[in-house]
Each structure stands twice: as structure tokens, then as C-alpha cells.
């Protein structure tokens, strides 16, 4: 039976030791698993065979989202004739004896679980896990629980939707790996907002794991119902960005429910990685210190999104991911499309002291930078990551949604930006609308065409609470263009 890795050398090792270990793992993965068994990489076997260290990865072509159109090409499919000649694999298999060898190969190569991308901008792409991958998922999840400082006796609610989605399964295996008592509610689709709130009131958990927007609405509903959740100490969030303004609002709602000091912790993961990483807790007034990367399981590069060249430590760029222990669906030098503001660092974490690599600063998606025709001068680039942060940082604004429209719904007309808003309290709506316009204009040089106010219930409906896997914060209602 495969056991999750338990050693913690990676937390405080030197960069030299980390990269030496990573290079050994990478050579094994490429030579013994990827080159012989992953069809997609057959065309670049020569480049892959020359990789001796992690620095040599710079000579390997990137893998991108468009390369995932045929998921079978990314699958590690063992060929029996090659396996019989792999001395390293045979030694591992035969340590279990003749009968155990077959079991070992099944655990190593046979898919037993599937997750998939959410498919918002394209068809969902499946990613398959073997038992080896699940052991890695459990190991990474256990580390997340430790970094987040959960305790053995903590009660945890996993409010991610039941779905073939990395977020739910990472939370599930984190609880197993750390042996934390956990109730999975399935999010809003299964029990609804009120059902989740009432279950949480009965369990009175120490930690909740959830999508940020769903949890925000859940806390707001519990506040309206005058519930008391007095044990909450940790909120672990995934699947969406978590700006500082959102963290402040979540802490404020927790205080209104009777939980005074709550850590709000963000995680970073994506389907293609088959694992997620977490921040460590910091004081409410402090900036997050970054996502701790498990260097025995993954190697991350930061590259210039235009040139594809690596950038120095601490420089912004695009995150490029290479697994070191993966089986099943496999990607090498995968361009995530995620931009990291502060790059990667190997300096000790100011909060916990770990020296493992960290991704520092805000993460935004290239896909959230859109080209809009907001005037007769076409092709204005709008960074919706910035718009989101501005809106979340407004304490007077309870909830919001950005809608893109065409003027008069005419495909040939200019694009319009509509802000749907819910005030936090009973603020003057005219004053709040003016503040929204001023803040957006100052940060982005754009002013919304219209601001419409809604009740909390109406905004929950707009966000798709209980319907959507991810709540709808930005919605594009522009009709198809006429070519």
C-alpha cells in the first residue's frame, strides 16, 4: 500500500539541497516515466533526455492549455515490454514479492480518480490520478493542514461542492492525511445556503474550507439569522482570488458570529498540478507572506510572459509548473496563464521561518485581461483583476458583480461595463455609487456605464449561489459579434 511522504526536510533545507533533490527526481520522472510512456512528449524526447538538472528545463518547450485538447496524449500509459527492461521499476516492484509486484504496478499506473477543469472558456479537460497521485495529494493536504496550524482535535467543515474538481478532493485528502474530523456539505448545491449555515451552527467547527464568495454569502446569511459560530479559528479558501478587502469582510462577519480571532488563509492550485499549496497564518494587519511550495513534489519557474525566459527571483512573471512525482495525466513545463506579482523567493518566510520556495504577491490570470471596445477607438485592454481588487477593498460594498454588455444589445455597438452592487449596510446608495465610480476611475481610468443596486438575496441569485461550481463574479452578456 502506498504511504504518503512524511519527511519534512523540505521545510528548511538550503536551496542547493532542494535543487539537487529536485534534479534527481526530475531525471527519474523524465527518463523512466515521461519519455517512454506519455505520448504527447514523444516528439521532444531528445530535449527531455538531455535534462540533467532543473536548470536544463529551460531547453524544453512549454506545454500550454491548447496542448490539452486530446487528454489521452497526456496520459502515462505503461508498455509492458519497456517495463520489463526498467531495472529501477523492477527492483521497486519485486521488493513486495511476486504477488506484490502486480499490486505495485497497479498503484503506480492504473487510474482510479478523475478531476477536470471547470470549462468556463473551453471544454472541460479531464485529469486522471493513480494511487501514487492520491498519496501525493494526501501528503500535500496534510502539509496544508500543518502550515495552516490546524490542531488534531479540530472539527472541520469542507463546503466545497461535490464535483470532480481539485478543490474538493484536496480538502478531502487533507483531512484524511492530517486525521481531522471533517464534514463535507457539498456546498450550496446539496444543502443550500441555509442548510449549510444550520449544520455549521450545530457542529460549531474550528475551520471551514470553501470558495470565498460562497463562504461570504454563507457568513452574511448566518449573521442575518443571528447565529453564533463561536469556535471558528481558521478559514481556508480556494478556487478564487482572495483580496485583502475580502479577508477584512470575512473577519468582520466572523466577529459578528462570535468568533473574534480568525485566520483567513488562501490556497493556490489548478487542475493540471493535481495538488494545491497554501499560505501560513499572519496577523490581520499584515500582508500574506506567499504560497509555500512543496519542493519534493513540484518545481516552479517564473518566466517573462512575452519572451518565455526565466526572470530573477522576486521578479513578476508567469508561473510555469513541472511535477516531480506525478503519474496518470502528466504535463511538463506547463504554462499556467497565472501571473505572480512578486515572483518566487527562497528567503525564510517572515511568518513561519520555512525556507521552502514561496510564490509571493497577488496572482492574476492572463485570461482576466480582456480587450474591450469601450469607445469608437477599439481594442482597449482592461485588467479585470484590478477591478476585482478595487471593489473588494471597499468596506461599504457588501457584494458585487461585473457585467459586460453591448450598448442596446447591438453587436456592432460599443461595450459597456455594468456594476451590480449590494451595500454592506444602509449606506446612501448615491454616495456609494459615486465612490465606486471614483475608485475605479482612479485605479483603472475607467468608469462603469451603469451601477445597479440589489438586495442580498438578489445578489446571491446573480452569483449563482447553490447553482454554479464557481460563483459568477464577472459575467459576459455581450451578443456574438458579427463578422
CATH number at residue 167: 3.40.50.12780
Range of the domain at 144: 129-361
Are 215 and 324 part of one and the same domain? yes
Residues 187 and 161 sit within 8 Å (Cβ to Cβ): yes
Higher-confidence position of 2 and 109: 109
Task: Give the whole-angstrom CA distance, residue 232 versus residue 367.
Answer: 35
Instruction: Judge whether 447 lies within some domain.
Output: yes
Same domain for 186 and 325, yes or no, is: yes
Tell me what pLDDT residue 483 has.
42
Per-residue pLDDT reduced to its tens digit, 450-478? 999 999 999 999 998 888 777 888 888 88
Query: CA separation (Å) from 300 to 139, 277, 321?
Result: 18, 12, 5
Same domain, 223 and 147: yes
Of the candidates 361, 384, 419, which is a domain's last residue? 361
Same-domain pairing of 353 and 399: no
What CATH code is carried by the domain that includes residue 405? 3.30.300.30
Say whether both 399 and 354 belong to one domain. no
The answer to the question of residue 13 being in a domain is no
Mark whether 357 and 390 lie in a shared domain: no
What are the cell numbers at 258? 462570535
Q: Count CB atoms within 10 A of the CB of residue 19.
A: 19
The grid cell for 200 is 455549521
Average pLDDT over every residue of 77-93: 84
Inside any domain, residue 35: no
CA–CA dist 465, 459 (Å, integer): 9
Residue 398 in any domain: the answer is yes
Is 56 contained in some domain?
no
Tell me the Ramachandran region of residue 412: left when phi exceeds 0, alpha when psi lies from -120 to 50, beta otherwise: alpha
- pLDDT over 70 for what percent of the chain? 95
Residue with grid cell 518545481, as numbered in its chain: 299
Least confident stretch, 70-84, 290-304, 347-361, 414-428: 414-428
Same domain flag for 336 and 208: yes
Q: Which of 97, 93, 189, 180 has the alpha carbon at shortest distance from 142?
A: 180
Picking from 341, 361, 381, the residue at the C-terminal end of a domain is 361
Q: List alpha helices for 231-339, DSSP H.
A: 244-256
Residues 263 and 356 in one domain: yes
pLDDT digits (tens, 9 = 90+) for 373-383: 665 445 677 78
pLDDT tens per residue across span 157-211: 999 999 999 999 999 999 999 999 999 999 988 999 999 999 999 999 999 999 9
Buried b (16+ CB within 10 A) or exposed e, 348-373: ebebbebbbbbbbbbbbeeebeeebb
What pLDDT is stored for residue 120 in this prediction? 56
CB 323 within 8 A of CB 140: no
Structural domains in the chain (count): 2
Within a domain: residue 145?
yes
Q: What pLDDT sits at residue 381?
A: 76
Q: Check if the beta carbon of residue 32 is closer than 8 Å to that of residue 86.
A: yes
Nearest-angstrom CA–CA distance, 289 and 299:
19
- Residue 365 Ramachandran class (φ > 0 left, ψ -120 to 50 alpha, else beta): beta
* DSSP track, 67-114: GGGSGGGGB----HHHHTT-HHHHHHHHTTHHHHHHHHHHHHH---EE
Sign of torsion, CA 68 275 57 335?
positive
d(C-alpha 323, C-alpha 74), whole Å: 13
CB 82 within 8 A of CB 137: no
If asked whether residues 253 and 375 sit together in one domain, one would say: no
183 and 270 together in one domain: yes
- Domain finish residue from 338, 361, 384: 361
Place of cell 445556503: 193
pLDDT in tens, 127-143: 999 999 999 999 999 99
Whether residue 201 sits in one domain with residue 342: yes
Closest CA to 337 of 312, 364, 310: 364
Encode pLDDT of 253-290 as tens digits: 999 999 999 999 999 999 999 999 999 999 998 999 99
Which of 201, 233, 199, 235 lies closest to 216 in space, CA to CA? 235
Alpha helices by DSSP H, 179-211: 188-203
Return the C-alpha cell found at 322: 513541472
Residues 345, 377 share a domain: no
Amino acid at each position: 500500500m502506498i504511504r504518503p511522504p512524511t519527511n519534512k526536510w523540505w521545510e528548511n533545507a538550503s536551496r542547493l539541497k532542494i535543487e539537487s533533490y529536485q534534479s534527481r527526481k526530475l531525471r527519474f520522472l523524465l527518463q523512466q516515466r515521461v519519455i517512454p510512456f506519455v505520448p504527447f512528449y514523444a516528439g521532444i524526447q531528445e530535449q527531455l533526455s538531455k535534462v540533467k538538472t532543473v536548470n536544463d528545463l529551460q531547453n524544453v518547450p512549454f506545454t500550454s492549455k491548447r496542448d490539452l485538447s486530446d487528454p489521452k496524449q497526456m496520459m502515462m500509459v505503461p508498455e509492458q515490454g519497456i517495463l520489463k527492461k526498467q531495472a529501477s521499476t523492477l527492483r521497486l516492484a519485486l521488493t513486495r514479492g511476486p504477488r506484490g509486484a502486480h499490486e505495485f504496478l497497479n498503484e503506480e499506473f492504473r487510474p482510479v480518480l478523475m478531476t477536470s477543469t471547470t470549462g468556463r472558456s473551453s471544454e472541460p479537460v479531464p485529469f486522471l490520478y493513480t494511487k501514487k497521485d492520491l498519496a501525493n495529494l494526501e501528503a500535500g493536504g496534510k502539509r496544508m493542514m500543518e502550515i495552516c496550524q490546524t490542531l488534531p482535535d479540530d472539527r472541520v467543515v469542507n463546503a466545497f461542492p461535490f464535483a470532480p474538481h481539485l478543490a474538493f478532493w484536496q480538502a478531502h485528502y487533507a483531512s484524511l492525511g492530517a486525521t481531522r474530523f471533517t464534514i463535507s456539505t457539498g456546498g450550496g448545491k446539496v444543502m443550500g445556503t441555509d442548510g449549510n449555515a444550520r449544520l455549521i451552527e450545530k457542529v460549531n467547527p474550528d475551520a471551514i474550507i470553501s470558495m470565498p464568495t460562497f463562504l461570504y454569502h454563507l457568513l452574511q446569511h448566518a449573521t442575518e439569522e443571528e447565529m453564533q459560530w463561536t469556535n471558528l479559528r481558521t478559514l481556508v479558501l480556494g478556487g478564487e482570488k482572495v483580496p485583502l478587502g475580502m479577508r477584512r469582510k470575512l473577519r468582520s462577519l466572523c466577529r459578528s458570529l462570535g468568533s473574534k480571532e480568525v485566520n483567513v488563509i488562501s490556497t493556490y492550485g489548478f487542475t493540471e498540478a493535481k495538488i494545491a499549496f497554501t499560505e501560513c497564518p499572519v496577523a490581520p494587519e499584515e500582508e500574506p507572506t506567499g504560497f509555500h511550495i512543496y519542493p519534493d513534489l513540484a518545481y516552479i519557474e517564473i518566466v517573462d510572459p512575452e519572451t518565455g525566459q526565466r526572470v530573477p527571483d522576486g521578479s513578476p512573471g508567469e508561473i510555469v509548473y513541472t511535477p516531480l512525482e506525478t503519474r496518470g495525466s502528466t504535463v511538463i513545463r506547463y504554462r499556467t496563464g497565472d501571473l505572480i506579482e512578486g515572483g518566487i523567493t527562497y528567503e525564510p518566510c517572515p511568518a513561519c521561518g520555512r525556507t521552502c520556495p514561496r510564490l509571493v504577491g497577488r496572482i492574476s490570470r492572463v485570461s482576466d485581461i480582456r480587450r474591450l471596445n469601450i469607445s469608437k477607438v477599439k481594442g482597449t485592454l482592461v485588467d479585470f483583476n484590478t477591478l476585482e481588487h478595487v471593489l473588494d477593498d471597499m468596506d461599504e460594498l457588501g457584494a458585487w458583480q461585473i457585467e459586460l454588455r453591448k450598448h442596446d444589445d447591438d453587436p456592432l455597438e460599443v461595450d459597456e461595463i455594468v456594476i451590480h452592487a449590494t451595500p454592506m449596510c444602509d449606506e446612501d446608495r448615491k454616495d456609494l455609487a459615486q465612490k465606486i465610480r471614483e475608485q475605479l476611475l482612479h485605479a483603472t481610468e475607467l468608469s462603469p456605464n451603469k451601477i445597479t443596486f440589489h438586495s442580498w438575496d438578489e445578489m446571491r441569485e446573480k452569483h449563482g449561489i447553490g447553482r454554479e461550481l464557481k460563483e459568477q463574479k464577472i459575467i459576459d452578456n455581450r451578443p456574438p459579434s458579427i463578422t
